[in-house]
Chain A
Amino acid sequence: GAGVSQSPRYKVAKRGQDVALRCDPISGHVSLFWYQQALGQGPEFLTYFQNEAQLDKSGLPSDRFFAERPEGSVSTLKIQRTQQEDSAVYLCASSLVRARGYEQYFGPGTRLTVT
């Protein structure tokens, strides 16, 4: 079946603009994760959903970052008043298992550049 998809693939925003990044997980996958990946680094955890419930948002860097998954499927990561340090690739991953610690399948990511 189809893998995890993300849109847009590339986003350029002027500093101060709001952006919304979308993630379509693999159908039937209960768990959904957002990560931020800086150039040359491994992905860093942002937040975790189990169905529509956001169970862990400890990795969100500031209150400008907000994520939702209202119907337990598609998820949106919103960044308000973007700053240059927000420039990174934002990865979404999903997992069939209703728990963390199990295999996750990643989408291609959204490369955000804040100018």
Chain B
Amino acid sequence: QQPVQSPQAVILREGEDAVINCSSSKALYSVHWYRQKHGEAPVFLMILLKGGEQKGHDKISASFNEKKQQSSLYLTASQLSYSGTYFCGTALHNRNTGTASKLTFGTGTRLQVTL
């Protein structure tokens, strides 16, 4: 039930754009995006709830396609500070209770932004 992330790694020059994808084979309640720098805590970026939506702040945005059970994270005009490992976490939808399951994280996408 672990979500699949792609690509596994990406190297960008400052100012370039990137897209990170996260897909699940199960019906999702929510998709969470985090960024983690080496030796630090994962930092919450945004959450997308079922119903299909798009969110964004500053130059980072995300979409959630409920039909395909896929989410994409869009990084626009990347900055050096964007470097790190990006994780998507998915919570499944329990149709019986209408609530969410535990959060399951993907294996991460390592992003490096260079000058």
Contact = CB atoms under 8 A, between A and B. Distances in A.
Interface of A: 4, 33, 40-45, 48, 56, 58-59, 91, 99-109
Given A101-B99, A104-B103, A91 B47 contact: no
20 contacts: A4-B41, A40-B108, A41-B107, A42-B87, A42-B106, A42-B108, A43-B89, A43-B105, A45-B104, A91-B41, A99-B100, A100-B102, A101-B30, A101-B100, A102-B47, A103-B44, A103-B47, A106-B43, A106-B44, A107-B41
User: Which 9 A-B pairs give the minimum distances between C-beta atoms?
Assistant: A101-B100, A42-B105, A101-B91, A106-B41, A45-B102, A100-B100, A101-B30, A101-B29, A108-B41
Main secondary structure of the interface of A (DSSP, over half): loop
A43 B32 CA distance: 13
Contacts of A91: 41-42
Main secondary structure of the interface of B (DSSP, over half): strand
A56 B30 CA distance: 18
A54 to B, nearest CB: 13
Interface string B25-61: 0000110101000001111100101000000000000
